[in-house]
Chain A
Amino acid sequence: MKKVVLARIDERLLHGQVVVNWLPVYDIKEIIIIDNEIAEDDFLKEITLAAAPKSARIHVFAENQIDELRDLQTEGNAIIITKNIFVIPSLLSNGISFNQLNLGGLSMIKDRKRYLDFLCLSNSEIDELKEIEDKYDVEVFAQMIPNSLKFDLNKL
């Protein structure tokens, strides 16, 4: 698993906005989706894989399949997309490295607070993000699509 140019947190995983806006800017050829619900449901997995754009391959992994992900043979730039912030440290500490973590969309549930119209975070998620930034030298920023307003973690 090489050349991960961006990791993105988005509860909607792969959708139009991501395909149309983020893939071209980062010249993405491999889309890695890490999501237990999709990985464990054959039909969801099937329709997710079918949504691959012509320009890239899609792969689906469960959260506990980090070893398989690390061993994945890839060509070109890859993006990792997940809705679970707590998966990110496991990736970084297991040989999957990247320098940018984009917060693209999390909605209001449980004990989250709203920071931007597309982004809600709980205190434990914020703590996790701060630790990711400090410990792994990853730039954490909130931005819906490239060229829209960008917010560094400390500006939220």
Chain B
Amino acid sequence: MVNILIVTHGDFGKELKNSAKLIVGDVSNIESISYDIGDNFKSLVAEVEKKIKRMSNDSELMVFTDMYGGSPFNAVTRFMNKYDFDHVTGVNFPLFLDIALNRNAMNLDEIEKNIINDGKKSIVFVNENLGIS
């Protein structure tokens, strides 16, 4: 099973996990870190390292962050040459669900090949899609 860590501004990541539970059921080995205004950046970096170190230790790890260049993104990216894990930013609900559903059957390699690119297609302009002006 691939472990999942979500690091986001505010409780976005925490709620992503809660919402996913309604659909996926099993949210074991999924953890989140919420970064709030006024929180110390160094503490965020320390907490991120602690979780990444533990969660990548005996299992594959996928880390999601909310936005390229944001503080959660920066805190996670700094450890990409120190620990072995995948990092996807700009996480949304469909992508998160897809990976949460498949992490038993697939390893990171297969997730990289099959799921991440599909995730990019999950943002749909419905008016255009349905031909409604």
Contacts and interface: CB of A to CB of B under 8 A. Distances in A.
A12 B78 contact: no
B71 interface: yes
Determine the interface band of chain A, counting residues with CB < 8 A from chain B. 20 to 34
B81 A43 contact: yes
A22 interface: no
Nearest to B67: A16
Contact of A15 (B38, B43, B70): B70
Contact of B74 (A15, A109, A114): A15
Determine the interface band of chain B, counting residues with CB < 8 A from chain A. 10 to 19
Contacts, number: 47
Nearest to A46: B81
A117 B78 CA distance: 26
A16 B69 CA distance: 6
Nearest to A144: B37
Contacts of A53: 69
Interface string A7-30: 000011011110100000000000
Nearest to B70: A16
A51 interface: yes
A107 B39 contact: yes
Given A43-B81, A47-B77, A12 B38 contact: no
Given A107-B40, A108-B40, A15 B78 contact: no
Contact of B38 (A16, A47, A107): A107
User: Main secondary structure on chain B at its contact with chain A?
Assistant: loop
A87 interface: no
Interface in B33-55: 37-43
A149 B74 CA distance: 26
B86 to A, nearest CB: 16
Contacts of A16: 9, 67-71, 73
Interface of A: 11-12, 14-17, 19, 43-44, 47, 51, 53, 107-109, 114, 117-118, 120, 144
22 contacts: A11-B40, A11-B42, A15-B70, A15-B74, A16-B68, A16-B70, A43-B78, A43-B81, A44-B78, A47-B77, A47-B78, A47-B80, A51-B68, A51-B69, A53-B69, A107-B38, A107-B41, A107-B43, A108-B38, A108-B40, A109-B42, A120-B38
